[in-house]
Amino acid sequence: MLTADHPVPFRPSRVLIAGVTGSGKTTLARRIAAARGLRHVEIDGLFHGPAWTPRPSFLDDVRAFAAEDHWVTEWQYTSKGTDQILAPRAQMVLWLDYPYRVVRSRLVRRTVSRQILRTELWNGNRERGLSNILLRDPEENILLWQTRTLHKWAERMPEVVARFPHLAIVRFAHPRETERWLRALSG
């Protein structure tokens, strides 16, 4: 596993961004797409249909873009089967393994901002209002979901390394490391 201090081993053309909810996966994916000329596919937009219903074509859509040669996306919906589609095709995983205080503050800021601005997310969906942070069900409360899944990637990474040895995995322990690595990638 690499860190931000390791030299970039190659110029990746298929990149997965892993991390807990609120870590900045989509923002980083957009930045990498712009810097490297890759197609950014926001996987939430493929999964969520109108009224937050799962889209039946989700996995077919993931297969279609994963077959392309140049893309970057968030590594999510692993329980829905994206591991078997994305990981074999990806070349690099960027793992945002940031401290709790960083990801929690980012998630709160993002959620409140989206609610205040009534930002449309995917397919007409918007944040669910205060229920998104007040409900007791972790499937419905984004803050509880983040707490419940905070260490998911740390637990999964040994398996990822074993199952997909071709993947170059770069672990970032703080946003400063990510910024430093991005500068090296662009250089």
Q: How far apart are CA 160 and CA 62, in angstroms?
A: 19
Q: Is the distance from CB of 179 to CB of 27 less than 8 angstroms?
A: no
Q: How far apart are CA 187 and CA 143, in angstroms?
A: 37
**What residues contact 83, with CB distance under 8 A and at least 6 apart?**
none
pLDDT at 115: 79
What's the pTM?
0.91
Task: State which residues form the domain around 172.
Answer: 2-186
Task: Give tens-digit pLDDT for 35-56.
Answer: 999 999 999 999 999 988 999 9
Greater confidence (175 vs 129) lies with 175
Task: Give tens-digit pLDDT for 25-37.
Answer: 999 999 999 999 9
pLDDT-derived band at 142 (thresholds 50, 70, 90) equals: confident
Q: What CA–CA distances, in Å, run from 125 to 29, 40, 83, 122?
A: 21, 20, 25, 5
CATH code, domain with 90 = 3.40.50.300
Indicate the number of domains in the chain. 1
Greater confidence (136 vs 83) lies with 83
Residue at 116: amino acid letter:
I
